[in-house]
Amino acid sequence: MAFMEPFRIKMVAHLADITKEERVEALHRRHYNPLQLSDQEINFDLWTDSGAAAMSHQQWAAMLQAHEGSINPDSFDKFEDTIRSITGFPYVFPVHQGRAAEHLLFSMYSKPGLAIFSNTMYSTGKTLANVLGASQKDLPCKRVRGEFFNGNIDCERLEQELSESDIAIVVLTVTSNHQAGQPVSMANIRRTSEICRRYRIPLFMDGCRFEENAYFIKIREKSYGDMSARAIALEMCSYFDGMYLSAKKDAMCSIGGCFATKLLDLREKFDEMVETFEGRRRYGGMAARDLDAVAIGLTEGIEDRYLKYRIESLSTFGDILKKAGVPIVEPVGSAIYINAARCLPHIPTEQYPAWALHCALYIEGGIRCNYLDDALKFDDSNERENPQPHHFLRICLPRRAYTLSHMLHIGEVFEKLLAKRERISGIRIVQRCIGMSKMLLEPVNASLIDIN
């Protein structure tokens, strides 16, 4: 356990002051759906890393100084310069979130009969492609235990699809959410780019976590150890025609996004689309203050010192959980994935072991995490006969927000829970709804867990 936070804490947000008895009551009131709990009822909110980072004093200071209401905000120049210099893409467009960039890009390429291929596409991109009449298909690599880059796309299948289907674009999501947050290697990016060029198919990056991916390449891929993450990110981007990102992840902001490209014809189309759907060309859907926060956040987020802390804090958190007896997907990527079915082997699939574990974690420690909103796209050889997405819980680590002692405390919560795992009840659905946050549930036994 060697990582150190490369910052001092200047402003604090208090953890909720709520007892275990009060949490039992709160969860009962919320129909055993932790996604319905209010912020004041949560101690450790680990359900997402999106929009949850602690911003730096440089970000806050720049936000206060930004000039709002300008048709030509200076903040855009800083935003554009930063993204140009980190990615190498000359044409840069601000948008209000990652999905707004997806919307503009996909609406230019998606047509009935065409397909968008990806290692794994984020859920908003999937829905959007379908709404626009295109088909969307994921081609994740086969997961290999101990392999460092399980976020890769399967290049053989991609090549085969390219020779057989009508394809609009290829998107590589780095790191890859639906492959347990695993990174994509430079070798895989280079090969994908070479295949796409041969078939004249544009290649884009969903770069929400591209800075973290660059650091994974630095520490896991041969011959990149001596390069800075910044230089690696620049090389990564050089293999793509363009990228989009949500500034709520690696850029450590509460809102924002961008699209950037080297394609001149896309520049002209984006000029028009951003003005029509987002806002004026030089602020997109963002306030000037948000443009400043993104520029500084991306710059802080690509520093090796910060990324060393970020990646080591994730792997240390994984080690703490493993030590507590929690089965996790290894090596840890941009988030921690817990095999809840193996944590609670007495709970059958139809009684939702991940949901039961989530409820128990909340009662024991005030912890909220997340389910997978889509099938987990990898095999787990230890998984039961038919791997079920609802067997997994995802723990995200908001950037710069939680300390080592929080992680050690959460490890102790897991240890306590696992010691009495047989007493955790399965869950049944009382009312099924579209969207997990609206579902109503209850424990199969009289109580979910005894609280002693």
Ligand X SMILES: Cc1ncc(COP(=O)(O)O)c(C=O)c1O
Residues that bind ligand X (CB under 6 A): 50, 97-99, 122, 124, 173, 177, 206, 208, 246, 248, 257
Q: Rank residues 151 and 426 by Cβ distance to ligand X and give the closer one.
A: 151
**Smallest separation (angstroms) from ligand X to the CB of 299:** 19
Closest CB to ligand X belongs to which residue? 98
**Tokens 């780019």, located at residue:** 193
**Smallest separation (angstroms) from ligand X to the CB of 248:** 5
Q: Rank residues 196 and 251 by Cβ distance to ligand X and give the closer one.
A: 251
b vs e for 323-353, b when ≥16 Cβ sit within 10 Å of the residue's Cβ? ebebbbbbbbbbbbbbbbbbbbeebeeebbb
CA distance 47 to 343: 19
Q: Rank residues 173 and 185 by Cβ distance to ligand X and give the closer one.
A: 173
b vs e for 391-429, b when ≥16 Cβ sit within 10 Å of the residue's Cβ? bbbbbbbbbbbbeeebbebbbebbeebbeebeebbbbee
Q: Within 10 A of 57 (CB to CB), how many other CB atoms are there?
A: 11
For 62, 87, 398, the CA distances from 251, given in Å and listed in that order, are: 15, 13, 12
Q: Rank residues 212 and 364 by Cβ distance to ligand X and give the closer one.
A: 212
Which of 204, 183, 184, 182 lies closest to 193, judged by CA? 204
**Smallest separation (angstroms) from ligand X to the CB of 131:** 15
**Smallest separation (angstroms) from ligand X to the CB of 56:** 20
Q: Are strands 392-395 and 370-371 parallel, antiparallel or unpaired?
A: antiparallel
Q: Rank residues 202 and 257 by Cβ distance to ligand X and give the closer one.
A: 257
**Smallest separation (angstroms) from ligand X to the CB of 52:** 11
**Smallest separation (angstroms) from ligand X to the CB of 414:** 25
**Smallest separation (angstroms) from ligand X to the CB of 153:** 14
Q: Rank residues 246 and 261 by Cβ distance to ligand X and give the closer one.
A: 246
Q: Rank residues 108 and 255 by Cβ distance to ligand X and give the closer one.
A: 255
Contact 407, 314 (CB under 8 A): no
CA distance 280 to 443: 51
Residue 439, Ramachandran bin (φ over 0: left; ψ between -120 and 50: alpha; else beta): beta
The 3-state DSSP class for residue 371 equals strand
